[in-house]
Each structure stands twice: as structure tokens, then as C-alpha cells.
């Protein structure tokens, strides 16, 4: 009998991951969706909606649908609230990032996770990509020595999406450390295998700000034909509808963090949201005494530069063979179905999600208060 999976909040991300899961995992099927937009979603799903049970309320679905596992794809500020419902019922959980957007929710989620027998897969695809898996193998082999410094970067070429639609509302997203850096902090923690102890950070809003009227949409703006960010232009139409230079545009457009780890080494991380075209870059440089390892998801390359011999090793991955998020999405879903089947543990646990979110919240607090912040639960 097929395993029955339910989804709370059928957002674009979770829909992309689970919408065609039967094709990859025929022993599983999407049995139920809790989302008030039934008519809209059923029309979008077409024939794939046949046989799905629809619920307007998450508790009703969890109590009546007879599920073997649940995925949460709501907007970010509801992730914790919905996760608490699933953890209470001890069901295998797939949880989108960020796992929480404020300290209160983070602490509630931590306590609920400790009281639950649920296995949780947090949606952290980057640590599951072939690039990071190879980097981990090389680092653990000792080839470059112990990692003593990290320089990590994320120059986002599609940054307009965070200013043109609901992502601009920081009360929903918690800001762009929680939206983007949560992925990067997680893969860095994974690669170096140490506990972060302190963070200091800065944020800037230099580009996506202005005095256009709140609520202005690009289609109603007199400058829509000249503005490089106008969503009336074909290259920008998938970003949203609102003006990114209006008075109500939220989110910083660049941010940086220094993270100290238990050994005393530190990581320098920076992200920005107005890089375009060839300026795009996402990856890291990890330096040991013996060598430096560098990778970038946009080039699909990983190189190892040996410090004491004239040798450079370069590994190239076929971008057509990796899949979503550099191949990490496929492994996320496979791992989730493994925990539902009871054949393997989670590879991106709730503890991983909690630590990354704590780092992001502490980075936000550091930037807002001009202070160093200890990474601690007390």
C-alpha cells in the first residue's frame, strides 16, 4: 500500500518538490492538502488533483487523513506553528526553511522537537549537492589540512524577487539572513563540523529603497518602461508585481557576518541582492595550511589549490545532470521518503535547522544593535 503524504500550505517551493513525487517514488502518493485555496490549486494541478483530499484546516487534515508523513510549505511566519502540530502527532516531517522567524518560535520549536519522536528533514538542499559532498570528502581526508578560515559569498542575480512580492514583508520572512543565509550557514556548519560561538553582522539598504507610493505596482508606474527593475519587462515578470523603489519596500539589499567557531577560527560571509548576469556567485573558499578549496554553484566547479606544491585539482559537474538546487533537491526528497519508510535517518535534522535559524536571528540582532552576539540558547 502506498504511503500517504499530506501537505500543509501548498506553496511554490513545496509544490515543486512534492507535486510529481509519484513519478520518482511510486510507493508514495500525495493524499491530502490543507490549504484554503482549493479551487485555485486544483485548477493549477489539473489531473494531478484527482484523488487528493482537500482540507481548509491543518488540524482537520492531521486528525482525519490517515497520513504517513507531512510536508509544510506555508509562508515562513507559519512554519513553526504548523510544525508544532505535526510534531505533536509524532509524524515524519518535511519542514521548509527558515524553521522559525523569531526567538519565541525558535524556542517553542526546539522544545517540541525534544518532546516528539518525529524524524524531521529540514529543506537544506545545498549541503546535499554533489559540490558540497565532494568538498566534505576532501576536507575530511585532510588534503588541505584543518580548515582555519572560510570566505563565503552569495551574489544573488534574481534579487528583485525579494522586493516585488510578499517576500518584501519582513514580518513574514524575518529578513534576508533567514531567507538566504540560513542555507549558507548550514552548509558551512556541515563542512567544518564545529560549533559556532559568536557572530557580528551588518546590513545595508542602498539600492531597493525610495519614495514611490506604498503599494504601487509596476504596471501603474509612469517609469515602468525605463526602470531596469520593472516587472512589466519580460526578464522580470516572474518576480512579482510591486514597485521595488516604494516607501513600503522591506528587506536589506546586502548583509555580511563574521562567525567565530569553537576552535577560534572564523568565517566571513557576505550576500547581496543587486548583482546581475556574470556577477552572480554562490559558494565558498575554505583555507587550511596545506591548501585551499573553492567551489561555486554557478560554475559547477570545485578546485583545490595546494599550498606547498605546484598542483591544482579542478572538478567540473555537468549542470544538466545535477537537478534542482545543484542536485540537492532530489536528495532531500529521497531522504524524506527514507525516513517515512524507516530505512534511514534524516540528513538535515531539526537541530540543523534550529542552529542555522539561531545564527540568522543573532546576526540580525547584531546588525540592529551594533554588538557581538553569543550563539547560545540562554
Cite the DSSP H helix spans in the chain. 12-18, 21-24, 38-45, 58-64, 79-88, 103-115, 130-141, 161-164, 170-173, 176, 182-192, 319-322, 328-341, 350-369
Q: Average pLDDT, stretch 219-240?
A: 91
Q: Average pLDDT, stretch 162-167?
A: 94
Residues 191 and 232 in one domain: no
Residues 285 and 295 in one domain: yes
Can you give the pLDDT at residue 112? 98
Please give the mean pLDDT across all residues of the chain: 94
Contact, 236 vs 229, CB < 8 A? yes
- Assess whether pLDDT exceeds 80 at residue 131: yes
Can you give the pLDDT at residue 119? 96
Residues 229 and 281 in one domain: no
Q: Average pLDDT, stretch 89-102?
A: 98
Can you give the pLDDT at residue 298? 94
The predicted-structure confidence for 279-309, as pLDDT tens digits, reads as follows 999 999 999 999 999 999 999 999 999 999 9
Contact, 152 vs 184, CB < 8 A? yes
H or E segment to which residue 316 belongs: strand 312-316
What are the CA-CA distances from residue 186 to residues 9, 57, 154, 254 (Å)?
Answer: 24, 32, 14, 19
Of the pLDDT bands very low, low, confident and very high (cuts 50, 70, 90), residue 75 is very high
Contact, 253 vs 204, CB < 8 A? yes
Residue 352 covered by a domain: no
What are the phi and psi torsion angles at 56 (to 5°)? -90, -5
Contact, 290 vs 306, CB < 8 A? yes
Residues 263 and 236 in one domain: no
SS3 347: coil
Residue 314 covered by a domain: yes
Please report, for the domain that includes residue 289, its CATH number.
3.30.360.10
Of the pLDDT bands very low, low, confident and very high (cuts 50, 70, 90), residue 2 is confident
Residue 166 covered by a domain: yes
Q: Which structural domain range is residue 76 located in?
A: 3-124+329-347
Residues 111 and 145 in one domain: no
- Assess whether pLDDT exceeds 80 at residue 322: no
Residues 272 and 309 in one domain: yes
Residues 242 and 214 in one domain: yes
Q: Are strands 266-272 and 149-155 parallel, antiparallel or unpaired?
A: parallel
Can you give the pLDDT at residue 115? 98
Residue 219 covered by a domain: yes
The predicted-structure confidence for 327-341, as pLDDT tens digits, reads as follows 899 999 999 999 999
- Assess whether pLDDT exceeds 80 at residue 236: yes
Q: Average pLDDT, stretch 308-318?
A: 95
Residues 281 and 161 in one domain: yes
Contact, 125 vs 325, CB < 8 A? yes
C-alpha cell at 301: 566547479
Please report, for the domain that includes residue 108, its CATH number.
3.40.50.720
- Assess whether pLDDT exceeds 90 at residue 25: no
Residues 32 and 114 in one domain: yes
Total domains, the chain: 3
Residues 28 and 164 in one domain: no
Q: What is the 3-state secondary structure (H, E, C) of 16-67?
A: HHHCCHHHHCCCEEEEEEECCCHHHHHHHHHHHHCCCEEECCHHHHHHHCCC
- Assess whether pLDDT exceeds 80 at residue 321: no
Among 107-111, 168-172, 199-203, the minimum mean pLDDT is found in 168-172
Can you give the pLDDT at residue 327? 84
- Assess whether pLDDT exceeds 80 at residue 151: yes
The model carries a pTM of 0.95
Can you give the pLDDT at residue 146? 97
- Assess whether pLDDT exceeds 90 at residue 325: no
Of the pLDDT bands very low, low, confident and very high (cuts 50, 70, 90), residue 50 is confident
Residues 95 and 179 in one domain: no
Sign of CA dihedral 159, 163, 167, 170: positive
> What percent of the chain shows pLDDT beyond 90?
86
Residues 142 and 45 in one domain: no
What are the CA-CA distances from residue 276 to residues 229, 250, 280, 359 (Å)?
Answer: 11, 20, 6, 27
Contact, 159 vs 275, CB < 8 A? yes
Residue 276 covered by a domain: yes
- Assess whether pLDDT exceeds 80 at residue 378: no
Residue 185 covered by a domain: yes
Amino acid at each position: 500500500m502506498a504511503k500517504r503524504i499530506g501537505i500543509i500550505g501548498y506553496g511554490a517551493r513545496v509544490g515543486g518538490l512534492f507535486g510529481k513525487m509519484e513519478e520518482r517514488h511510486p510507493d508514495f502518493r500525495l493524499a491530502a492538502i490543507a490549504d484554503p485555496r482549493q479551487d485555485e490549486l486544483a485548477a493549477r494541478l489539473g489531473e494531478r488533483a484527482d484523488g487528493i483530499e482537500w482540507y481548509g484546516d491543518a488540524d482537520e487534515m492531521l486528525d482525519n487523513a490517515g497520513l504517513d508523513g507531512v510536508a509544510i510549505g506555508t509562508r515562513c511566519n507559519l512554519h513553526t506553528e504548523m510544525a508544532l502540530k505535526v510534531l505533536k502527532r509524532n509524524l515524519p516531517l518535511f519542514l521548509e526553511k527558515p524553521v522559525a522567524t523569531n526567538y519565541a518560535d525558535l524556542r517553542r520549536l526546539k522544545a517540541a522537537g525534544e518532546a516528539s519522536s518525529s524524524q524531521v528533514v529540514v529543506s537544506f538542499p545545498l549541503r546535499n549537492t554533489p559540490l558540497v559532498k565532494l568538498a566534505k570528502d576532501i576536507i575530511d581526508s585532510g588534503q588541505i589540512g584543518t580548515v582555519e578560515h572560510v570566505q563565503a559569498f552569495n551574489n544573488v542575480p534574481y534579487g528583485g524577487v525579494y522586493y516585488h512580492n510578499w517576500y518584501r514583508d519582513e514580518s513574514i520572512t524575518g529578513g534576508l539572513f533567514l531567507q538566504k543565509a540560513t542555507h549558507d550557514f548550514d552548509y558551512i556548519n556541515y563542512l567544518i563540523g564545529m560549533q559556532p560561538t559568536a557572530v557580528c553582522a551588518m546590513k545595508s539598504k542602498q539600492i531597493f529603497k525610495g519614495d514611490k507610493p506604498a503599494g504601487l505596482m509596476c504596471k501603474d508606474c509612469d517609469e515602468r518602461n525605463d526602470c531596469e527593475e520593472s516587472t512589466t519587462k519580460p526578464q522580470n515578470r516572474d518576480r512579482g508585481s510591486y514597485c521595488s523603489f516604494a516607501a513600503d519596500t522591506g528587506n536589506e539589499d546586502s548583509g555580511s557576518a563574521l562567525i567565530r567557531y569553537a576552535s577560534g577560527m572564523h568565517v566571513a560571509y557576505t550576500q547581496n541582492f543587486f548583482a546581475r548576469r556574470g556577477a552572480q556567485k554562490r559558494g565558498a573558499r575554505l583555507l587550511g595550511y596545506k591548501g585551499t578549496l573553492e567551489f561555486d554553484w554557478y560554475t559547477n566547479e570545485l578546485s583545490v589549490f595546494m599550498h606547498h606544491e605546484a598542483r591544482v585539482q579542478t572538478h567540473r559537474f555537468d549542470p544538466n545532470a545535477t537537478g534542482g538546487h545543484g542536485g540537492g533537491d532530489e536528495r532531500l526528497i529521497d531522504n524524506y521518503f527514507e525516513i517515512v519508510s524507516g530505512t534511514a535517518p534524516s540528513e538535515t535534522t531539526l537541530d540543523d535547522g534550529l542552529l542555522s535559524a539561531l545564527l540568522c536571528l543573532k546576526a540580525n540582532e547584531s546588525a540592529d544593535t551594533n554588538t557581538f552576539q553569543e550563539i547560545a540558547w540562554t
